[in-house]
């Protein structure tokens, strides 16, 4: 009782931090330090999120000009992990080694240094977040122990789940740092190759010559025969390094895949986020009120589930091709909406049982009799118990979304053409699978398998961590994990 | 609640589901940003006599609610209309009769292939738990399940059409067939024709069944592990029943129960997945028809096909629930029952 008096439960986190600010300040300082080296990139990304031109044309000039100026300024801020700081493109002069690359290193090594730095930087963030959680746990949390601690501990010893996290982390970093990750950029190499130039050492002329990227690409495509092939870990005739080879038209495949990871993961994570919100909201609502609301939700979810998801995607993607909605974010917006609108029934179904069980508990009755409002009861006493289950099923259905997005772009639908998407790489390389250019189709598929397996492993880990004795609801799990059959 | 009553309730619940699903289709087709008449004429043509004529014939000039009622009444009385672009003037029912057999053939074999490979592997892994072969089978199943069908299909097509390079001649193995052509189903009573049709659909069936195969393996393994330690198996062992009998009579039969929803759930995967697999293997079945109709703007055909698929899926769902109660009478008819 005495502890309750000295440390009343009503004291908020903010107050606890104010009373002992030191660990939090140190931690926040470390965060700022880590953020500062990438300041420019963060702002660039935020700015790029708004569709190009849309902001400029609708905002009056007196607002627009300062915004643009601020953008210019932010763009000039130093950023550690860019290709400007660690360039990997250059040419080799005979006897003098590589020019214009980072420290005169070979392009492959320069690129590797940049990628390694990016991963080190991201790992530093991961460590920082973990450290922050530990500080919160030891210094600022009111309770010494919560059931959550056991779950975290169980997950930490679940090696299959951990390996899933590692692979997911690998891909997420690749997606987040996509522009800095590739040996070249999407704009330079894929979208407008004829507006950029590449310098190389022309052996016949014996001097440094320049060529447009488009022409250079034309010469370095991978189209089956050993002579016309730039495989993984090799250079093309222009001294450009290709970590996983080139596409049939000569575009760098790693750049393509990194940008594709960005699109796939944003669609998957965003749409599953929306589905989770709908699913959790509906689950606690129907579990609390039961009766008619539950019946309506059953019918609604059954109806959505009765429409074959992949067919609906194909239909909408082809119907909306060319309309403003269809071209928003290169078609990603429509896909996100459709996935969000069609995936919630699976998630809701999966946690309907647990939610109903929770609604039966005495504490729900108790808080009702105290006069607590239904909204608060649902938020405070029901949602925390179903979010764990949600995490399991969400991570299991992410795989289905990633596969479906790739399947659609394989069919030429969904993400519009020059924008990189994994499925399109499979399509481009499908005639070369058994030839020297096997990498074009094979690598995207292997990457999808890796990523999907990793998400499944993560889901397994979370499930075992939440409730080691749980008889898993394999039906629901498989219904969610099965995806749409792409 | 009796079984009959349960069935009745299930059927009653399915009516609003089909109604609602079809309504969503209507909303997408008629109220979306695309003008069906313009889509049929291809491109952005929104004027002229031709356009007006198509509008008239589709009934687009009438109020939306009238169109809606017409749309629903037509579909529910099985007047499926006709195709406008793909096969102009051909009734949808005729198209269904033409395209459906190939999809059914493919679907049938993909279920069979998945069962024949997945379940024995799962049972084998379950009977030898924590051995290397178990790890191999389990891990293989996990990875196999995560493979995108379309990618697997692309790899498969390339490998078997170039199989001479690897010292194996798939095309001329047993019966001579081609890889990327639809199977001919005209003469299935003739053994050679039957073999040819089977051989042509086998790679596609393996791909289409891949996800289910992984699931069946996993479920089979868990089920065997669970039943293996059940009391009745212990009793049978104590009585001195031979190992083979225990496996077949006690373990196998009970392990089959959780597999039912997986097998019936395959219907969902088959209908969606058939689009991609049929496209890669050039089997012109229902999925391929739907894809062509959607891409070419044949909206009336798309609407009718969607209705057929919805009815199909809902019936499979009901069938699954009924089967479930038949096999395992403990499955609740009330409360938690879906």
What residues does each domain of chain A span? 186-251, 260-485
Please check whether residue B151 touches A, CB under 8 A.
yes
CB atoms A486 and B149 under 8 Å? yes
pLDDT at residue A202 in the model: 80
pLDDT at residue A67 in the model: 60
User: In the predicted model, is pLDDT for residue A393 greater than 70?
Assistant: yes
Contacts of B313 in chain A (CB under 8 A): 305-306, 308
Is B137 or A481 the better-scoring residue by pLDDT? B137
Q: How many Å separate Cα A91 from the centre of its chain?
A: 34
Distance of alpha carbon B175 from alpha carbon A111, whole angstroms: 52
Q: Are strands A207-212 and A197-202 parallel, antiparallel or unpaired?
A: antiparallel
CB atoms B294 and A307 under 8 Å? no
pLDDT at residue B184 in the model: 72
User: Which segments of chain B have a pLDDT < 70?
Assistant: 1, 32-34, 42-49, 167, 174, 180, 327-338
Q: Quick one: pLDDT band at residue A414, thresholds 50, 70, 90?
A: confident
The residues in B 258-297 lying below 8 A from A, measured between CB atoms, are 258, 261-262, 265, 268-276, 279, 290-291, 294-295, 297
Is B48 or A90 the better-scoring residue by pLDDT? A90
- What value does the mean pLDDT take over residues A60-85? 63
The alpha carbon torsion through B92, B98, B100, B103 (nearest 10 deg) reads: -140
Residue B307 C-alpha, separation from nearest chain A C-alpha, in angstroms: 9
pLDDT at residue B335 in the model: 43
Q: Quick one: pLDDT band at residue A3, thresholds 50, 70, 90?
A: very low
Nearest to B150 by CA among B338, B287, B40: B287
Least confident of A74-88, A289-303, B111-125: A74-88
Mean of all residue pLDDT scores within chain A: 83
pLDDT at residue A141 in the model: 85
- What value does the mean pLDDT take over residues A444-456? 93
Q: How many CA atoms lie within 13 A of B62 on its CB side?
A: 11
Query: Which value does ipTM take for this structure?
Result: 0.84
- What value does the mean pLDDT take over residues A465-484? 55
pLDDT at residue A422 in the model: 92
CB atoms B148 and A445 under 8 Å? yes
Closest Cα in chain A to B215: A478
Partner-chain residue, chosen from A433, A456, A479, that has the shortest CB–CB distance to B142: A456
CB count in 10 Å sphere of residue A94: 8
Nearest to B205 by CA among B250, B246, B266: B266
Is B74 or A116 the better-scoring residue by pLDDT? A116
pLDDT at residue A484 in the model: 53
In CATH, A260-485 is 3.40.190.10: no
Contacts 24+ apart (CB under 8 A), B289-292: B289/B86, B289/B95, B289/B99, B290/A311, B290/A314, B291/A314, B291/A411, B292/B86
- What value does the mean pLDDT take over residues A3-16? 62
Is A79 or A356 the better-scoring residue by pLDDT? A356
DSSP B251: I
The two tokens of residue B223 are 């089920």
pLDDT at residue A174 in the model: 92
The two tokens of residue A245 are 């080879």
Interface test with B, best of A161, A224, A292, A308 (most B CBs within 10 A): A308
Please check whether residue B140 touches A, CB under 8 A.
no
Q: Quick one: pLDDT band at residue A269, thresholds 50, 70, 90?
A: very high
Q: For residue range A214-260, what is the model confidence (pLDDT) as tens digits?
A: 888 888 888 878 888 888 888 888 888 899 989 988 889 999 999 99
User: In the predicted model, is pLDDT for residue A470 greater than 70?
Assistant: no
Q: For residue range A452-464, what is the model confidence (pLDDT) as tens digits?
A: 999 989 988 888 8
pLDDT at residue A65 in the model: 60
- What value does the mean pLDDT take over residues A41-48? 72
CB atoms B310 and A306 under 8 Å? yes
Q: For residue range B31-86, what is the model confidence (pLDDT) as tens digits?
A: 766 677 777 776 656 666 677 777 777 777 778 788 888 888 888 888 888 887 77
List helix spans (H) across chain B: 3-31, 36-41, 48-58, 64-76, 92-127, 132-146, 149-161, 191-208, 210-228, 231-238, 243-245, 253-255, 259-281, 286-295, 299-327
In a 10 Å sphere around its CB, with 0-12 CB exposed, 13-18 middle and 19+ buried, how is residue A460 labelled?
Answer: buried
User: In the predicted model, is pLDDT for residue A11 greater than 80?
Assistant: no
- What value does the mean pLDDT take over residues A344-366? 87
Q: The whole model's pTM is what?
A: 0.87
Cβ proximity of A237 and A198 under 8 Å: no
User: In the predicted model, is pLDDT for residue A338 greater than 80?
Assistant: yes
Distance of alpha carbon A177 from alpha carbon A182, whole angstroms: 9
pLDDT > 70 in chain A, percent: 87
Contacts of B12 in chain A (CB under 8 A): none
Element of type H or E holding A152 = helix A147-156
Which residues make beta-bridge pairs with A213? none
pLDDT at residue A70 in the model: 63
Residue B99 C-alpha, separation from nearest chain A C-alpha, in angstroms: 16
Closest Cα in chain A to B288: A311
Cβ neighbors of A170 (< 8 A, separation 6 or more) are A119
User: In the predicted model, is pLDDT for residue A475 greater than 50?
Assistant: no
User: In the predicted model, is pLDDT for residue A125 greater than 80?
Assistant: yes
Please check whether residue B192 touches A, CB under 8 A.
no
Cβ proximity of B337 and B322 under 8 Å: no
CB atoms B272 and A308 under 8 Å? yes
The three-state secondary structure class of B178 is coil
Cβ proximity of B308 and B38 under 8 Å: no
The two tokens of residue B329 are 């009478």
């Amino acid at each position: 009782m005495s502890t309750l008096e000295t440390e009343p439960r009503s004291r908020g986190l903010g107050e606890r931090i104010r009373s002992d600010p030191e660990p939090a300040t140190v931690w926040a300082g470390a965060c700022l330090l880590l953020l500062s080296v990438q300041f420019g990139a963060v702002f660039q990304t935020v700015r790029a999120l708004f569709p190009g031109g849309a902001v400029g044309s609708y905002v009056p000039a007196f607002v627009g000009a300062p915004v643009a100026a601020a953008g210019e300024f932010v763009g000039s801020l130093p950023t550690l992990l860019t290709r400007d700081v660690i360039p990997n493109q250059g040419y080799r002069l005979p006897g003098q080694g590589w020019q214009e690359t980072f420290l005169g290193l070979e392009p492959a090594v320069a690129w590797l240094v940049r990628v390694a730095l990016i991963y080190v930087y991201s790992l530093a963030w991961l460590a920082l977040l973990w450290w922050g959680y530990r500080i919160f746990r030891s210094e600022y949390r009111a309770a010494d122990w919560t059931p959550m601690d056991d779950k975290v501990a169980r997950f930490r010893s679940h090696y299959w789940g951990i390996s899933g996290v590692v692979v997911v982390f690998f891909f997420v970093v690749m997606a987040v740092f996509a522009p800095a990750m590739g040996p070249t950029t999407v704009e330079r190499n894929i979208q407008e190759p004829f507006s950029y130039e590449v310098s190389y050492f022309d052996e016949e002329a014996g001097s440094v010559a320049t060529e447009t990227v488009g022409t250079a690409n034309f010469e370095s495509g991978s189209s089956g025969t050993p002579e016309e092939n730039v495989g993984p870990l090799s250079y093309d005739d222009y001294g450009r390094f290709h970590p996983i080879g080139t596409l049939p038209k000569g575009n760098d495949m790693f750049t393509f895949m990194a940008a594709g990871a960005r699109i796939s993961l944003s669609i998957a994570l965003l749409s599953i986020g929306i589905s989770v919100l709908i699913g959790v909201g509906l689950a606690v609502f129907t579990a609390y009120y039961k009766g008619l609301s539950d019946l309506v939700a059953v019918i609604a979810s059954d109806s959505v589930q009765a429409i074959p998801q992949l067919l609906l995607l194909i239909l909408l993607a082809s119907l909306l091709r060319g309309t403003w909605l269809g071209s928003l974010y290169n078609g990603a917006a429509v896909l996100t909406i459709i996935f969000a609108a069609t995936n919630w029934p699976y998630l809701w179904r999966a946690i309907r049982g647990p939610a109903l069980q929770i609604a039966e508990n005495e504490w729900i009755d108790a808080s009702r009799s105290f006069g607590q409002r239904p909204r608060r009861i649902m938020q405070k006493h029901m949602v925390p118990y179903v979010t764990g289950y949600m995490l399991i099923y969400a991570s299991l259905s992410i795989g289905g979304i990633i596969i479906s997005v790739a399947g659609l772009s394989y069919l030429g639908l969904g993400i519009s053409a020059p924008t990189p998407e994994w499925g399109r790489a499979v399509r481009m390389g499908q005639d070369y699978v058994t030839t020297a250019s096997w990498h074009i189709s094979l690598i995207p598929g292997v990457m999808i398998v890796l990523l999907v397996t990793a998400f499944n492993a993560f889901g397994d880990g979370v499930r075992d961590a939440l409730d080691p004795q749980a008889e898993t609801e394999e039906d629901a799990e498989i219904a969610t994990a099965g995806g749409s059959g792409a | 609640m009796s079984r009959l009553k349960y069935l009745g309730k299930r059927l009653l619940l399915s009516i609003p589901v089909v109604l609602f699903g079809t309504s969503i289709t209507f909303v997408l087709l008629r109220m979306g940003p695309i003008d069906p008449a313009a889509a049929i004429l291809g491109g952005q043509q929104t004027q002229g006599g031709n356009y007006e004529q198509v509008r008239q014939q589709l009934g687009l000039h009438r109020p939306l609610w009238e169109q809606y009622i017409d749309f629903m009444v037509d579909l529910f009385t099985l007047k499926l209309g006709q195709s406008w672009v793909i096969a102009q003037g051909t009734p949808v029912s005729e198209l269904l009769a033409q395209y459906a057999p190939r999809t059914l053939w493919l679907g049938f074999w993909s279920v069979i292939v998945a069962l024949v490979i997945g379940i024995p592997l799962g049972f084998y892994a379950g009977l030898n738990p924590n051995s290397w072969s178990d790890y191999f089978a389990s891990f293989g199943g996990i990875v196999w399940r995560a493979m995108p069908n379309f990618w697997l299909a692309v790899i498969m097509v390339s490998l078997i059409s170039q199989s001479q390079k690897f010292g194996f001649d798939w095309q001329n193995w047993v019966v001579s067939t081609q890889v990327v052509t639809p199977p001919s189903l005209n003469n299935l009573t003739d053994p050679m024709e039957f073999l040819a049709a089977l051989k042509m659909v086998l790679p596609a069936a393996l791909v289409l069944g891949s996800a289910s195969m992984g699931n069946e393996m996993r479920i089979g393994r868990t089920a065997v592990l669970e039943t293996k330690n059940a009391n009745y198996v212990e009793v049978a062992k104590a009585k001195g029943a031979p190992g083979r009998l225990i496996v077949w009579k006690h373990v196998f039969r009970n392990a089959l129960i959780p597999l039912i929803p997986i097998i019936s759930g395959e219907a969902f995967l088959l209908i969606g997945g058939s689009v991609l697999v049929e496209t890669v293997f050039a089997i012109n079945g229902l999925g391929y028809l739907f894809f062509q109709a959607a891409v070419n703007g044949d909206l009336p055909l798309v609407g009718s096909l969607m209705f057929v698929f919805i009815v199909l899926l809902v019936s499979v769902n009901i069938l699954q629930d009924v089967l479930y109660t038949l096999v395992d009478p403990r499955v609740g008819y009330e409360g938690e029952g879906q």
